[in-house]
A and B are shown apart, each in its own frame.
Chain A
Amino acid sequence: EPEVTQTPSHQVTQMGQEVILRCVPISNHLYFYWYRQILGQKVEFLVSFYNNEISEKSEIFDDQFSVERPDGSNFTLKIRSTKLEDSAMYFCASSADRDRGYTFGSGTRLTVV
């Protein structure tokens, strides 16, 4: 079964540093997403990406965040100047159609110290 792959599985970074979280969506999917889940809390939408541009973003996705699809396979989330409250599990997801359910990657656990 096709998978969404995320790396690294766990990232520890110092407050104020920049991190890049990487994702390889399912190859024939066209819509890509980032979500985050703070420990013990619900899954929160960050951003959706289609046709090489951001299609929607939430109020969480401020100037600290950016996304990129640098080549035909990777989809990255960059967090500049990380804060303690950025510590969370970050999930990448992709879908073939925006109205279908998503396939999630196994997530990157980001710990900001």
Chain B
Amino acid sequence: RKEVEQDPGPFNVPEGATVAFNCTYSNSASQSFFWYRQDCRKEPKLLMSVYSSGNEDGRFTAQLNRASQYISLLIRDSKLSDSATYLCVVRHRDNYGQNFVFGPGTRLSVLP
């Protein structure tokens, strides 16, 4: 089983739509969770950390379910500028120490 899995995508949605991305992780000892966005051929940029109680930042809401080892990102009222690949990132300890593991990403295209 892959360490971090995400919806394969791509998601093509109209402007104004609400879209949700799902992510699952395999290591139950994972400690920190993040969502990043990556534009084509650019660096990943931190979108938001994910806290156990869930958290919101404007149009973005992140949820964490430790029991199910599941993370989600909800984008409301999507804008053209939200088009990007969304990366689920999990920090855990493995045989090589603690490090951040990136999921493969889910591509979102917001259409006019």
Q: Which residues of A contact B (CB under 8 A)?
A: 33, 35, 41-45, 48, 55-59, 89, 91, 98-107
Contacting residues, chain A, for B97 (C-beta < 8 A): 48, 55-57
Contacting pair A104 B103 (CB below 8 A) = no
Contacting pair A101 B42 (CB below 8 A) = no
Contacting residues, chain B, for A42 (C-beta < 8 A): 87, 102-105
- Return A71 CB to nearest CB of chain B, in Å: 24
Contacting pair A102 B99 (CB below 8 A) = no
Alpha-carbon distance A89/B89, docked complex (angstroms) = 18
- Return B37 CB to nearest CB of chain A, in Å: 11
* A41, A43, A48, A56, most chain B CB atoms within 10 A: A43
Task: Choose from A44, A98, A104 the contact partner of B43 (Cβ within 8 Å).
Answer: A104
Contacting residues, chain B, for A98 (C-beta < 8 A): 98
**How many residues of B are in contact with the other chain, CB < 8 A?**
25
Task: Say whether B34 faces chain A, with CB atoms less than 8 Å apart.
Answer: yes
CB contact under 8 A between A43 and B44, given known A99-B31, A99-B32, A101-B34: yes
Give B55-112 interface residues, CB cut-off 8 Å to A: 87, 89, 91, 96-105
Contacting pair B96 A106 (CB below 8 A) = no
- Return B85 CB to nearest CB of chain A, in Å: 10
Task: Say whether B27 faces chain A, with CB atoms less than 8 Å apart.
Answer: no
- Return A4 CB to nearest CB of chain B, in Å: 8
* B34, B44, B101, B104, most chain A CB atoms within 10 A: B44
Contacting residues, chain A, for B38 (C-beta < 8 A): 43
Contacting residues, chain A, for B49 (C-beta < 8 A): 100-101
